[in-house]
Structure 1
Amino acid sequence: MIVVAGEALIDLVPREAGALADLRPARGGGPYNTAVALGRLGSPTAFFSRVSRDAFGEALLEGLGAAGVDVSSVQRGPEPTTLAAASIGEGGSAAYSFYVEGTADRLFEVPARLPEGTRAVSFGTCSLVLEPGASAYEELMRSAAAQGVFTALDPNIRAGLIPDADAYRARFRSWLPSVSLLKLSEEDAEWLGGTPREWLAAGPSAVVITQGGDGLTAFTRDGSVHPVPGEKVEVVDTIGAGDTVNAALLHGLAVRDALSPAALSALTPEDWTGLLRFAARAAAITCSRAGAEPPYAAELADGDEPEHRAG
């Protein structure tokens, strides 16, 4: 079981160019997209969050259920669902304006325990910024790591939501001893400062940096660097691409029975190449369609993943 912890929200995605473009509501949020992508790939997945009882909240739970994600641990509340208004720029890149005051996902509370058989917990995005929920997710991260559970972090920076950049950067560094796998975009890496080597020295066993259409690169503690090129595709938009990478990495590691720091360190160059190519191909499929619509396992069946799933 892979647990994904973080926000679920509604993206308002423009159907056409213009400040008052026709907006289409779509299920979203980095952790939510990661959970859906994992479910579609076939990994047993549970979602930890706090979701509104409004119509948007019901739609979010329906989306998780359709992907086979366990929602039995999702907390519910009467507050509204967070909204994110997206604008699509050249090359399909997305920027967001958030409506977060008094929303349900900010009030997440630390659960009493992780589900039986939890192998990994994934964190990231707005949930680690907006209090009081951010402190609860942080506590869950530290607790999971202390129990020996594999942890993955994608900070997925939304600078407009961060009132004190330096304080957030310091907080980010404080998480690293509790992180097994750090994944981030090159834009996030630049915003945060530091280098993969510095982050590896602080805790993670591997750092993966995505570079848009140029591919992605893994850095490991032994000094190895594993780059793979991006998959060529006609980009509709990039919404959910990074979240799909998260899911593909976690799924691929589960397939290889590598959801532990020791197993991650033992991956061969061939393992890393296959894992990263799988993630690049999954992200390309997401970019080829509007909104966060990650691929299903059947769409990637001829790829680099082993046929046997461990565990």
Structure 2
Amino acid sequence: MIVVAGESLIDLVPQGTGTPLPPLLPRLGGGPYNTAVALGRLGTRTGFCSRVSTDGFGMALLAGLRSAGVDVSLVERGPEPTTLAVAAIGADGSAGYGFYAEGSADRLFQLPPPLPDAVRAVAFGTCSLVLEPGASAYEALLRRESGRGLFTLLDPNIRPGLIPDAAAYRERFRGWLPDVSLLKLSADDARWLGGTPSGPGGPAAVVLTRGAAGMTVRTRGGLEVSVPAAPVTVADTIGAGDTVNAALLHGLAARDALSAEALAALDRAAWEEILAFAARAAAITCSRPGAESPFAHELDG
């Protein structure tokens, strides 16, 4: 099983250009949530570890996980409201967000007991590693499970509006890297963070996504492999990076490569296949409004 740890929320996505304001359509979302759903749709045994509200939005979020085949036994529940994210869609389909997260359920996540023995990997990212007090609990989970030998993926998915002290966050981010097996960054993330981490003591591999320019992996052993983006007519980019996370984990699990040693052993051909699969999956997500990731049958062949 692969566990995804982090927030779930409701994206409020503008529809058209209504006046004086466009109507907002609620969609299930949150980077870790989208990653878990995408993994489940690809057929990977997946669990979600978070705190989810008992309100109507929270019930819908859990139903979305279950419909994708995601195990929710690690989900904490609470009466606090669900976080809301108001999306702004650019002319190129790119999405920006404003967050309403004060006092929300996912911020009150508490460190769970050690994860079940069946868990092979844990993925982290986005708001859950920023908003306290939950951020410290997720950080403790990352360090503990890495220390137990589990494979870890980190996608910081930077949301600058949520980070009050950029320098402090960058320092904290660097402190996570020794416990990260695979780091996924967008080009925007890398610029904001001041570059792509490299060298000993950090992740075994770093995947950099560059939108229409494709994606690249750089391994600790010095291998660098790039693939082009899959051609697509973009509806919006909501959930595209989360789909990449899921596709990477799915591809690595299929090759029994969920360890730093196995990552190091992957050759150019294997990485080309994994990255191309992730690019195709992300393209399908971009072709649909909202974070609607593909099912396995849509990627056959």
TM bracket (short chain): over 0.9
CA contact (8 A) 2:177 2:202 kept: yes
CA contact (8 A) 2:114 2:145 kept: no
In the alignment, which residue of structure 2 is the partner of 1:228? Answer: 227
Q: For the residues of structure 2 that align with 1:276 and 1:170, how far apart are their CA atoms?
A: 29
Q: For the residues of structure 2 that align with 1:114 and 1:103, how far apart are their CA atoms?
A: 24
In the alignment, which residue of structure 2 is the partner of 1:9? Answer: 9
Q: For the residues of structure 2 that align with 1:243 and 1:236, how far apart are their CA atoms?
A: 16
The residue type equivalent to 1:201 in the other structure is P
In the alignment, which residue of structure 2 is the partner of 1:244? Answer: 243
In the alignment, which residue of structure 2 is the partner of 1:194? Answer: 195
Deviations 1:137-187 (A, max 9, x none): 000000011000000000000000000000000000000000000001000
How far off its partner does 1:221 sit? Answer: 1.1
Q: TM-score, normalised by structure 2?
A: 0.98
- 1:174-213 equivalences under 5 Å are 174-197=175-198, 200-213=199-212
- Runs of 4+ aligned structure 1 residues displaced above 4 Å come to none
2:83 is equivalent to residue 77 of structure 1:
no
How far off its partner does 1:226 sit? Answer: 0.4
How far off its partner does 1:42 sit? Answer: 0.3
Question: Aligned with 2:143: secondary structure?
Answer: helix
Q: For the residues of structure 1 that align with 2:149 and 2:266, how far apart are their CA atoms?
A: 19
Q: For the residues of structure 2 that align with 1:54 and 1:71, how far apart are their CA atoms?
A: 16
How far off its partner does 1:196 sit? Answer: 3.7
- 1:213-292 equivalences under 5 Å are 213-292=212-291
How far off its partner does 1:213 sit? Answer: 1.2
Q: For the residues of structure 2 that align with 1:221 and 1:113, how far apart are their CA atoms?
A: 29
Q: For the residues of structure 2 that align with 1:252 and 1:277, how far apart are their CA atoms?
A: 10
How far off its partner does 1:194 sit? Answer: 2.9
The residue type equivalent to 1:13 in the other structure is V
**Which residues of structure 1 form unaligned runs of 5+?**
303-311
CA contact (8 A) 2:11 2:29 kept: yes
- 1:82-101 equivalences under 5 Å are 82-101=83-102
CA contact (8 A) 1:82 1:98 kept: yes
Q: For the residues of structure 2 that align with 1:274 and 1:140, how far apart are their CA atoms?
A: 31
How far off its partner does 1:222 sit? Answer: 1.5
How far off its partner does 1:98 sit? Answer: 0.1
Question: Aligned with 1:92: secondary structure?
Answer: coil
Q: For the residues of structure 1 that align with 2:21 and 2:158, how far apart are their CA atoms?
A: 26
Q: For the residues of structure 2 that align with 1:100 and 1:196, how far apart are their CA atoms?
A: 30
How far off its partner does 1:201 sit? Answer: 2.7
Q: For the residues of structure 1 that align with 2:117 and 2:37, how far apart are their CA atoms?
A: 20
CA contact (8 A) 1:83 1:98 kept: yes
How far off its partner does 1:224 sit? Answer: 1.4
How far off its partner does 1:15 sit? Answer: 1.1
- 1:130-145 equivalences under 5 Å are 130-145=131-146
Q: For the residues of structure 1 that align with 2:172 and 2:201, how far apart are their CA atoms?
A: 13
* Structure 1 vs Structure 2 CA RMSD: 0.8
The residue type equivalent to 1:15 in the other structure is Q
Q: How many residues align?
A: 300
CA contact (8 A) 1:196 1:219 kept: no
CA contact (8 A) 1:12 1:86 kept: yes
Q: For the residues of structure 1 that align with 2:55 and 2:146, how far apart are their CA atoms?
A: 34
Deviations 1:271-304 (A, max 9, x none): 00000000000000000000000000000011xx
Question: Aligned with 1:293: secondary structure?
Answer: coil
CA contact (8 A) 2:4 2:48 kept: yes
In the alignment, which residue of structure 2 is the partner of 1:53? Answer: 54
The residue type equivalent to 2:32 in the other structure is P
The residue type equivalent to 1:88 in the other structure is I
CA contact (8 A) 2:12 2:26 kept: yes
In the alignment, which residue of structure 2 is the partner of 1:112? Answer: 113
**Which residues of structure 2 form unaligned runs of 5+?**
none
How far off its partner does 1:28 sit? Answer: 0.2
The residue type equivalent to 1:221 in the other structure is R
Q: For the residues of structure 1 that align with 2:52 and 2:197, how far apart are their CA atoms?
A: 34
Question: Aligned with 2:92: secondary structure?
Answer: helix
CA contact (8 A) 1:125 1:156 kept: yes
Q: For the residues of structure 1 that align with 2:180 and 2:293, how far apart are their CA atoms?
A: 25
The residue type equivalent to 1:227 in the other structure is S
In the alignment, which residue of structure 2 is the partner of 1:164? Answer: 165
The residue type equivalent to 2:244 in the other structure is V
Q: TM-score, normalised by structure 1?
A: 0.95
